[in-house]
């Protein structure tokens, strides 16, 4: 949980955390807007509290002391802007301290890891999957032969595998259950939710799901193997205007499908758009997606997800998002396909988030000027000024 009165700083901390722990659930609390947390706040359900010194009219050290005197309260990391804050934070019981003006990613993540491990709140990565392909020590999934590891995070790993009964290459996403850890249970719930959402869909531009299995200490999803790589490979080469339109239409078609059943993607970016061997698009990685109709039992309001280069203004400021946020992200991809560049860049995540909210929509080069009107409606700062549905985007394209 992040408690600070500056939205951009909360977003920055979120990006540090999710870059290392993609499955993390982060709730953001603004004490300036919502008021000071009550004395009876116990921190229950949180593994760690990230407390900034922007607490409105309240002395942040009073808030820190309020937290640390509660028996069983989660560890607290404090972010200060004054030289004396470090010593004061330690005296008031903070488990860690960083200067908010500059949060170095490596030391920050390592500091959180040490605190969480000392509190027995974090499963060691080494214990998640005890070996690599080639060593002979890896999860045994009945009916599949693992070929290579493609990716790994704190709670899950992705493998290229072969379905032994069909001589067919597939991708296996494997999640290790950790029933003794609340964090692990949450990750397992989200893993199953991810499968249920995608399994409902049958669309040529959404990844196909073949199987779900649950074992004694893991669950797995078997999904389509997309051998064409990610959309990033396309961006490394010159893409013509008509080709950019085709690719954007296929992504928009996938969004229209998922939005029609109440799913937001919320992390639309080239790395989550895969290419088949026939050069068609398949949307993947719904780990950050959420049914719009679900009550917020797994994710809290104010939670921020996504990648800053492709993040809508409302998402970057932890405001409520809907399908129009995915449409904004699609606009970023469309611009990048046409130009080879991202519309907004900066030296840090906070700078990028600021530009998404305040900088004008960039102009396309003259050869692509006919797409400017569409781009303006995709990248409008206010959701009401954008195209409202993916179907409208398809009509324009």
Q: Could you report the per-residue pLDDT of 52-75, keeping only the tens digit for each? A: 999 998 999 999 999 999 988 999
Q: Which option is the CATH number for 126-224: 3.90.1010.10, 3.30.200.20, 3.60.20.10, 3.30.1360.180?
A: 3.30.200.20
pLDDT score at 261: 83
Q: What is the mean pLDDT of the chain?
A: 81
- CB contact at 8 A, 22 and 155: no
Element containing residue 28 per DSSP (H, E) = strand 28-29
DSSP SS3 for 317 = coil
Q: Of the given ranges (7-11, 49-53, 107-111, 236-240), which has the lowest mean pLDDT? A: 236-240
Is the CATH number of domain 2-118 3.40.50.2300? yes
pLDDT score at 352: 85
Cα–Cα distances (Å) from 248 to 190, 228, 259, 283, in that order, read 28, 17, 16, 12
A 10 A CB-CB count for 279 gives 12
The domain locations on the chain are 2-118, 126-224, 232-396
Q: Is the pLDDT of residue 131 over 50?
A: no
pLDDT score at 366: 94
Structure tokens at 201: 């869909």
**What percent of the chain stands above pLDDT 70?**
81
pLDDT score at 111: 86
Q: Is the pLDDT of residue 290 over 60?
A: no
Q: Of the given ranges (44-58, 116-130, 131-145), which has the lowest mean pLDDT? A: 116-130
Name the most confidently modeled range: 43-52, 98-107, 187-196, 387-396.
387-396
pLDDT score at 118: 73
For the segment 112-125, the average pLDDT, to the nearest whole number, is 65
Backbone angles phi, psi at 115, to 5 degrees: -65, -45
State the pairing for strand pair 218-224/281-283: unpaired
- Give the global pTM: 0.63
pLDDT score at 205: 94
**What percent of the chain stands above pLDDT 90?**
34
Q: What is the CATH number of domain 232-396?
A: 1.10.510.10
Give the span between the Cα atoms of 375 and 344, in whole angstroms: 14
DSSP SS3 for 312 = coil
Q: Is the pLDDT of residue 296 over 70?
A: no
For the segment 246-274, the average pLDDT, to the nearest whole number, is 90
pLDDT band for position 134 (cuts 50, 70, 90): very low
In sequence order, the β-bridge partners of residue 156 are 175
Backbone angles phi, psi at 10, to 5 degrees: -60, -40
pLDDT score at 364: 94
Angle (CA) 77-79-80 rounded to 5° is 140
Q: Which of 23, 53, 267, 285 is catalytic?
A: 267
Backbone angles phi, psi at 216, to 5 degrees: -65, -35
- Greater confidence, 140 or 54? 54
* 267 is an active site residue: yes
For the segment 63-91, the average pLDDT, to the nearest whole number, is 89
Q: What is the maximum alpha-carbon separation in the chain?
A: 65
**What is the DSSP code (8-state) at residue 310?**
G
Sign of the dihedral defined by the CA atoms of residues 54, 58, 59, 64, in that order: negative
pLDDT score at 319: 77
Could you read off the pLDDT of 234-252 as tens digits, one per residue? 888 778 899 999 999 999 9
pLDDT band for position 210 (cuts 50, 70, 90): confident
């Amino acid at each position: 949980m992040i408690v600070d009165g500056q939205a951009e700083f909360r977003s920055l901390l979120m990006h540090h955390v999710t870059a290392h722990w993609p499955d993390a659930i982060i709730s953001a609390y603004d004490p300036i807007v919502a008021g000071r947390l009550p004395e009876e706040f116990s921190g229950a359900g949180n593994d760690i509290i990230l407390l900034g010194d922007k607490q409105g009219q309240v002395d942040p050290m009073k808030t820190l002391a309020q937290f640390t005197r509660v028996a069983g309260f989660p560890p607290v990391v404090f972010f200060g802007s004054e030289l004396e804050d470090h010593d004061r934070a330690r005296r008031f019981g903070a488990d860690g301290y960083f200067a908010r003006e500059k949060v170095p990613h490596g030391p920050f993540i390592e500091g959180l890891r040490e605190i969480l491990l000392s509190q027995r709140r974090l499963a060691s990565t080494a214990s998640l999957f005890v070996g690599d392909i080639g060593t002979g020590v890896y999860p045994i999934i009945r009916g599949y032969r693992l070929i290579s590891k493609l990716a790994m995070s704190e709670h899950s790993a992705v493998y290229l595998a072969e379905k032994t009964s069909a001589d067919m290459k597939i991708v296996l996403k494997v999640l290790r259950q950790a029933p003794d850890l609340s964090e692990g249970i949450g990750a397992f719930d989200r893993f199953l939710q991810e499968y249920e959402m995608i399994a409902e869909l049958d669309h040529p531009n959404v990844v196909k799901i073949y199987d779900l299995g649950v074992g004694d200490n893991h669950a797995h999803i078997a999904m389509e193997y997309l051998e064409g790589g990610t959309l990033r490979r396309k961006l490394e080469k010159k893409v013509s205007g008509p080709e950019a339109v085709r690719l954007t239409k296929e992504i928009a078609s996938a969004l229209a499908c998922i939005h029609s059943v109440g799913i937001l993607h919320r992390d639309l970016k080239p790395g989550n758009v895969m290419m088949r061997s026939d050069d068609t698009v398949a949307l993947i990685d719904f780990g950050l997606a959420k049914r719009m109709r679900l009550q917020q039992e797994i994710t809290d309001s104010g939670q921020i997800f996504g990648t800053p280069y492709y993040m809508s203004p409302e998402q970057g400021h932890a405001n409520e998002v809907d399908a129009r946020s995915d449409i904004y992200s699609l606009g970023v991809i469309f611009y990048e396909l046409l130009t080879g560049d991202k519309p907004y860049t900066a030296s840090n995540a906070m700078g990028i988030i600021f530009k998404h909210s305040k900088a004008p929509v960039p102009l396309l080069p003259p050869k692509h000027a006919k797409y400017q009107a569409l781009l303006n409606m995709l990248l409008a700062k206010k959701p009401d000024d954008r195209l409202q549905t993916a179907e409208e985007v398809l009509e324009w394209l």
